């Protein structure tokens, strides 16, 4: 009976099958399972994995320097594997070892914004990258405020050159939206390489079928280190695009519309930038 209990690797296979069927971005789940969960729990029987084992492992991950949000993602993904197994009535899976571990409180908000000089340094470093698309990706993220996944999965058919709009049929919020394209953004798009039969705006030109990039971690890390910006992430570019708009006098309501925020609450983190811009305007007239 014990030998018939599946290993976590078996649970992970079922979890991935579910993710590929029901999730828009199954590669995120796949990476967490492949990089973190399988090396630690893959060969263990599901009924042998205890809450204490999981809690100790998560503590070790925190000590290794992983961000709190990443550690929480590991716990949630492991718990989801067990939850799906229990729902399916998988033999030997009677409890979820991650369920009893409390969620650690943390502030995941980042208030890092690039200055114009820092953005220029990052773009210059990206020009030296072995990744031929990196400079275009960074520039368009800074000019549009789009999320990384939105840009990497952009299609030519959704670029309206005449109306200066980029249509996103599906976003993180589960709805579509239009992103206005400035002239500098259009200039970059106009010079992008195009490949026969390839629908993607920024495909990986070295891939066999010219498919989109799924991970830019290595080339982006190399570029940010070369630019002397070790604390900058790809998501920083989205925040920086918003800060540039606010500093140009655009109100945070309009900025939120461009970024696709559903409520003004998400845009409030840029309010202090708006206040600084208004103060500078008042002092200039004093």
Question: How far is residue 196's CA from residue 180's CA, in Å, rounded to a whole number?
Answer: 27
Q: Are 157 and 201 in contact (CB under 8 A)?
A: no
In the prediction, which pLDDT does 127 show?
Answer: 96
For 198, the token pair is 């390839």
In the predicted structure, residue 136 carries a pLDDT above the cut 60:
yes
At 166, the pLDDT band (50, 70, 90 cuts) reads very high
Listed in sequence order, the residues at least 6 apart from 189 whose beta carbon sits closer than 8 Å to its beta carbon are 140, 159, 161, 181, 201
Q: Is 46 exposed, middle or buried (0-12, 13-18, 19+ CB in 10 A)?
A: buried
In the predicted structure, residue 243 carries a pLDDT above the cut 90:
no
Q: By mean pLDDT, which of 13-27, 203-217, 242-256 is the weakest?
A: 242-256
Edge-first strand listing for the sheet containing 177-180? 159-160, 165-168, 177-180
At 107, the pLDDT band (50, 70, 90 cuts) reads low
Give the single-character DSSP code of 32: H
Span 19-60, pLDDT tens digits:
999 887 788 899 999 999 999 999 999 999 999 999 999 999
> Considering the chain, what is the average pLDDT of its residues?
87
Q: What residues does 168 pair with on adjacent strands?
A: 177
For 173, the token pair is 């919020």
Q: Are 146 and 258 in contact (CB under 8 A)?
A: no
Question: How far is residue 162's CA from residue 203's CA, in Å, rounded to a whole number?
Answer: 23
* Cα Rg of the chain (Å, integer): 22
Give the single-character DSSP code of 248: T
Beta-carbon-side half-sphere exposure of residue 191 (alpha carbons within 13 Å): 12
* Sole residue written with tokens 């979890």: 15
Span 186-203, pLDDT tens digits:
999 999 999 999 999 999
The helix (H) or strand (E) run that includes residue 94 is: none
In the prediction, which pLDDT does 251 show?
Answer: 73
Q: Are 133 and 205 in contact (CB under 8 A)?
A: yes
């Amino acid at each position: 009976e014990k030998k018939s209990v599946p290993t976590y690797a078996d649970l992970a296979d079922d979890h991935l099958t579910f993710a590929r069927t029901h999730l828009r971005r199954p590669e995120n789940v796949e990476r967490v399972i492949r990089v973190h969960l399988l090396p630690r729990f893959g060969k263990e029987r599901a009924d042998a994995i205890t809450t204490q084992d999981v809690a100790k492992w998560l503590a070790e991950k925190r000590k290794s320097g992983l961000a709190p949000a990443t550690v929480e993602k590991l716990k949630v993904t492991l718990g989801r594997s067990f939850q799906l197994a229990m729902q399916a009535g998988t033999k030997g899976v009677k409890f979820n070892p991650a369920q009893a571990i409390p969620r650690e409180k943390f502030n995941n908000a980042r208030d890092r914004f690039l200055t114009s000089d820092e953005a220029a340094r990052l773009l210059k470093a990206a020009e030296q990258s072995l990744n031929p698309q990196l400079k275009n990706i960074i520039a368009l993220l800074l000019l549009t405020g789009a999320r990384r996944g939105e840009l990497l999965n952009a299609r030519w058919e959704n670029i309206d050159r005449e109306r200066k709009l980029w249509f996103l049929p599906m976003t993180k919020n589960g709805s579509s939206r239009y992103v206005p394209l400035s002239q500098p953004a259009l200039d970059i798009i106009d010079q992008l390489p195009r490949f026969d039969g390839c629908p993607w705006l920024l495909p990986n030109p070295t891939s066999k079928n010219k498919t989109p990039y799924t991970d830019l971690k290595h080339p982006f890390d190399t570029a940010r280190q070369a630019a002397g910006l070790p604390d900058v992430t790809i998501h920083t570019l989205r925040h920086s695009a918003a800060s540039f708009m606010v500093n140009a006098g655009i109100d945070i309501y309009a900025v939120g519309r461009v970024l696709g925020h559903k409520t003004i609450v998400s845009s409030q983190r840029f309010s202090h930038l708006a206040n600084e811009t208004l103060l500078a305007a008042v002092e200039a007239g004093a």
